[in-house]
Structure 1
Amino acid sequence: MIILGIVLAAAAVAVGVGVIAENSSSASIDIFGQHVPGVQTEGQVFAAGVLVAFVFMLGMGLAFLTLNRALRNRRELRDLREEHRESISTLEMEKQRLQRELARARGTAGETATTADDIRVAGRPAPDPVSSFFDRTD
């Protein structure tokens, strides 16, 4: 859409430059050597200029609106990524707290307490420990 807006604006500028460069009389329009039919009075020339200006403004407005929407989407995506990182870190801290509580609870039962943070394999934390249900000797 931004390209379409820029193309419309560029076409309007090209038509405006062509009209200014080619015209010698005040009541006709010649664009790049071609006469525009139906334009014979100064009012019609003015209306054609208004039309060209409208097309230029339409093209620029379309380009700016599209650019604004793209920037807003990028900003929202960046905010969502930051929010996601914060929630992940909060969840990781909660997980570590719960693992410490589990280790303390297992330690009071006379068992050896080891948390997932104590065991590392190739720089990654070990998987979650198995629940104490399977450690029973009854």
Structure 2
Amino acid sequence: MVFLGIVLAAAAVAVGVGIVTENSSSASLSIFGHHVPGVHTGAQVFIVGGIVSAFVVVGLAVSLLSLLRSMRVRRELHDLRDEREESMSALVTKNQQLERELARTRSGAGSASAAGQVPVTAQQGRVTEPASQFFDQSV
């Protein structure tokens, strides 16, 4: 899109330069050696100049908008990459922490039980009720 806008603006500037350099009188209009039909008065030449300048403005606006969009996309991509790097480093840190905890648990649990089970302390005086009546039924 940037290229299209630049090409459109350059073409409009070339046409404007051609109009200025080829015209010796204000009532006729010729571009690059060819007479433009239907343009015979100074007002019509002025209108054609306005149209050419409008194409220049449109071409530059298309280029600018396209450039701004590509900059925004590039910035968003950069932010996403930074966010990904931060989350990956947080995950690596959390993984290392969990590995250390697992190693500590394994070293402490090996002396507690030969089967590798961690002993559970029972709370006395507490009545446990099943979560559902279906757990009390025998099969």
Q: TM-score band, normalised by the shorter chain?
A: 0.7 to 0.9
CA-based RMSD of the aligned residues comes to 1.6
- Give the superposition deviation at 1:88: 0.3
For 2:21, give the aligned amino acid: A
Q: Which residue of 2 aligns with 1:32?
A: 32
Larger Rg: 2
Q: In 2, distance between residues paired with 1:137 and 1:78?
A: 48
- Give the superposition deviation at 1:110: 2.9
Give unpaired runs (5+ residues) of structure 2. 118-139
Q: In 2, distance between residues paired with 1:85 and 1:4?
A: 36
Percent of paired sites with the same residue: 56
- Give the superposition deviation at 1:136: 4.1
Q: In 2, distance between residues paired with 1:13 and 1:45?
A: 16
Q: Which residue of 2 aligns with 1:48?
A: 48
- Give the superposition deviation at 1:27: 1.1
For 1:36, give the aligned amino acid: V
Cα displacement string for residues 9-31 of structure 1 (whole angstroms, at most 9, x for unaligned residues): 01101001000100010111111
Q: Secondary structure of the equivalent of 1:84?
A: helix
The 8 Å contact of residues 2 and 67 in structure 2, kept in 1 or not, is answered as: yes
The 8 Å contact of residues 110 and 116 in structure 2, kept in 1 or not, is answered as: no
Q: Secondary structure of the equivalent of 1:110?
A: helix
Q: Which residue of 2 aligns with 1:60?
A: 60
Q: In 2, distance between residues paired with 1:26 and 1:103?
A: 92
For 2:71, give the aligned amino acid: L
Q: In 2, distance between residues paired with 1:43 and 1:136?
A: 101
Q: Which residue of 1 aligns with 2:107?
A: 107
Q: In 1, distance between residues paired with 2:32 and 2:87?
A: 62
Q: In 2, distance between residues paired with 1:67 and 1:97?
A: 45
Report the TM-score when normalising by structure 2: 0.78
Q: In 2, distance between residues paired with 1:136 and 1:48?
A: 94
Q: Which residue of 2 aligns with 1:73?
A: 73
Report the TM-score when normalising by structure 1: 0.79
